[in-house]
Amino acid sequence: MISAKGQPTSRLGAAVGSCYTADSVSRVLGNAVDEVGILVEAGQLLALTTADGYVVFPVFQLHNGRVVEGLPPVLSALREGVDDPWTWALWLNSTPPRAEEVEAQASRIQQLIYGEFDRVLRAAERTAASWRS
């Protein structure tokens, strides 16, 4: 998982990568801590609860001090398949299989950063459908 200091402590945590605490993500975004909770509830920011009950925020979802553009609709699509933020985090931070996207060399979150919103959203919708079946 992820330690209280935001560092991975397991394979799952290592796959997700470093995380912010609520205080640190609020500083990066320039929001109050309670506003961070509102962003999470609105599906605009990904929060993960660790095995020891801490809520942390994957660093990969922020770019240049902002939530990666296009992330909220992708999170919404993934939520339709399974209500598990850890699964979403792993999906976002993984590289698509070659069979899914021939030219994919970047993780899905990197694809969003590169502006490939439509590709990632379609993949999220397909993935959510497969999770439901």
Question: How many whole angstroms separate alpha carbon 128 and alpha carbon 120?
Answer: 12
Q: Do residues 77 and 118 touch, judged by C-beta distance below 8 A?
A: no
For residue range 91-106, what is the model confidence (pLDDT) as tens digits? 999 988 764 554 557 8
* Residues in CB range of 92: below 8 A, 6 or more apart: 46, 58, 60, 61, 71, 74, 107, 108, 109
Question: How many whole angstroms separate alpha carbon 104 and alpha carbon 40?
Answer: 28
> Burial level of 34, CB count in 10 A (0-12/13-18/19+)?
exposed
pLDDT of residue 1 exceeding 50, the answer is no
* pLDDT at site 23: 96
Q: Read off the amino acid at residue 98.
A: R
Question: How many whole angstroms separate alpha carbon 41 and alpha carbon 3?
Answer: 23
Question: How many whole angstroms separate alpha carbon 37 and alpha carbon 29?
Answer: 12
Instruction: Tell me the pTM.
Output: 0.85
Q: Retrieve residue 92's tokens.
A: 């976002």
* pLDDT at site 103: 55
pLDDT tier for residue 5 given thresholds of 50, 70 and 90: low
Question: How many whole angstroms separate alpha carbon 95 and alpha carbon 65?
Answer: 23
Q: Do residues 39 and 62 touch, judged by C-beta distance below 8 A?
A: no
For residue range 45-104, what is the model confidence (pLDDT) as tens digits? 999 998 889 999 999 999 999 999 999 999 999 999 999 999 999 999 998 876 455 455
